[in-house]
Structure 1
Amino acid sequence: MFSVDELVVYPAQGVGKVERIETQEIGGASTELYIVRILSNNVTLMVPVSNAVNVGLRAVYTPEEANGILAYLDDRSDFTGYSGQNWNRRYREYSEKLKSSDLKDVAYVLKELILIGKDKDLSFGERRLLEQAMGLISLELSFALDKDQNDVKKEIEALFADVLQKKDGESDEDEGDS
């Protein structure tokens, strides 16, 4: 059970704060709800206390778990790339993973898209998923590690410096040839 003012994570939405716990009558039954405000967009969610775990509501990662995510991002041994998959299939797969309550699934999407982007231009949808994954991970890790979110983003980008520098270093002529 979470308490008021506790930071929690709601899948695909990110880090939120439990503002209050209240009881409301829903469908004729009295239901206890967490009222959670998502910090990145100020959206308020009502999550039934009895169903919180089933919808993936969880505590923010510990510093140890957060460092594990950074280590996972740095390990490229599980990179599958875009082996024959078209962007539409990848987009659906990655969208589902972003809804996971496991931050490692979100990290998988981030890693895959950054590494795929090394060899080919990402579609508009894939770029949006990349931004969403980066936002979800960097925000949670910033709370877990007590760091500024931009510093965490820079730390993640540094893990992929070899890939990101190649893309940034391309000339306009190179991009016009695609």
Structure 2
Amino acid sequence: MLAIGDKVVYPMHGAGVIEAIEKHEVFGQLQDYYILTMPYGGMRVMIPMKNVENIGLREVIDEVGISKVVDILRATSVQETASWNKRFNLNLTKIKTGSIYEVAEVVRNLILQDNAKKLSAGERRLLETARKIMVSELVLACGKDLGSIEEWIDELMQENTPGN
């Protein structure tokens, strides 16, 4: 069971810290909710405790997980250059899994794709979403601020750019 102070990931939204457990009445029923505060913009999210397993709420990665994310970002892209809408759907499916490793692959592949050939507007928004999800988890996993993590990811991806 999760507790106040735990660092968790809410798929498609990113990582946050459980700030409280509160009872709220919704549709005439009293339910317990985890109240999460997210690092991006300090947004607060209410998650029904009874739905935690269904929505894929999980704990933030550890040191081993951080190293695995770094390895993924440093690896070369393995995504074939299908049409942008096929890539978009493939990448969206990966993001929805809630796995930071899948999200890191999406970030890496889209950044490398953007460096080779500019992304469509839809793919650019998808990259922004994936990057925010990944950064939010790394902020909590590494215990660093948002700017430091974003700069670190930029440096990793700069190293991964062909010709560097």
1:7–1:59 contact (8 Å) kept in structure 2: yes
What is the rounded CA distance, in whole Å, between the counterparts of 1:44 and 1:155 in structure 2?
26
Which segments of 5 or more consecutive residues in structure 1 lack a partner in the other structure?
167-178
2:35–2:47 contact (8 Å) kept in structure 1: yes
What is the rounded CA distance, in whole Å, between the counterparts of 2:62 and 2:22 in structure 1?
27
1:81–1:112 contact (8 Å) kept in structure 2: no
How far did residue 147 of structure 1 move? 2.4
1:81–1:115 contact (8 Å) kept in structure 2: no
SS where residue 131 of structure 1 aligns? helix
- TM-score of the superposed pair, with normalisation by structure 1: 0.78
What is the rounded CA distance, in whole Å, between the counterparts of 1:156 and 1:81 in structure 2?
23
Q: How does 1:114-133 map to 2 (within 5 A)?
A: 114-133=111-130
2:158 to 156, 161, 164: 161
Bigger relative CO (Cα 8 Å, ≥ 6 apart): 2
Which segments of 5 or more consecutive residues in structure 2 lack a partner in the other structure?
none
2:73–2:160 contact (8 Å) kept in structure 1: no
What is the rounded CA distance, in whole Å, between the counterparts of 1:25 and 1:134 in structure 2?
34
**Paired residue type of 2:95:** L
How far did residue 133 of structure 1 move? 1.8
**Paired residue type of 2:59:** A
**Paired residue type of 2:113:** I
1:157–1:164 contact (8 Å) kept in structure 2: no
**Paired residue type of 2:3:** S
Q: How does 1:1-178 map to 2 (within 5 A)?
A: 1-27=1-27, 29-76=29-76, 79-82=78-81, 85-161=82-158, 164=161
Q: CA RMSD in A?
A: 2.3
2:38–2:136 contact (8 Å) kept in structure 1: no
Q: Is 40-49 or 2-11 further displaced after alignment? A: 40-49
- TM-score of the superposed pair, with normalisation by structure 2: 0.84
How far did residue 87 of structure 1 move? 1.2
What is the rounded CA distance, in whole Å, between the counterparts of 1:162 and 1:53 in structure 2?
37
What is the rounded CA distance, in whole Å, between the counterparts of 1:154 and 1:100 in structure 2?
25
**Paired residue type of 2:11:** P
Among all aligned residue pairs of Structure 1 and Structure 2, give the percentage whose two residues are the same amino acid: 32
What is the rounded CA distance, in whole Å, between the counterparts of 1:122 and 1:55 in structure 2?
30
How far did residue 102 of structure 1 move? 0.8
**Paired residue type of 1:144:** A
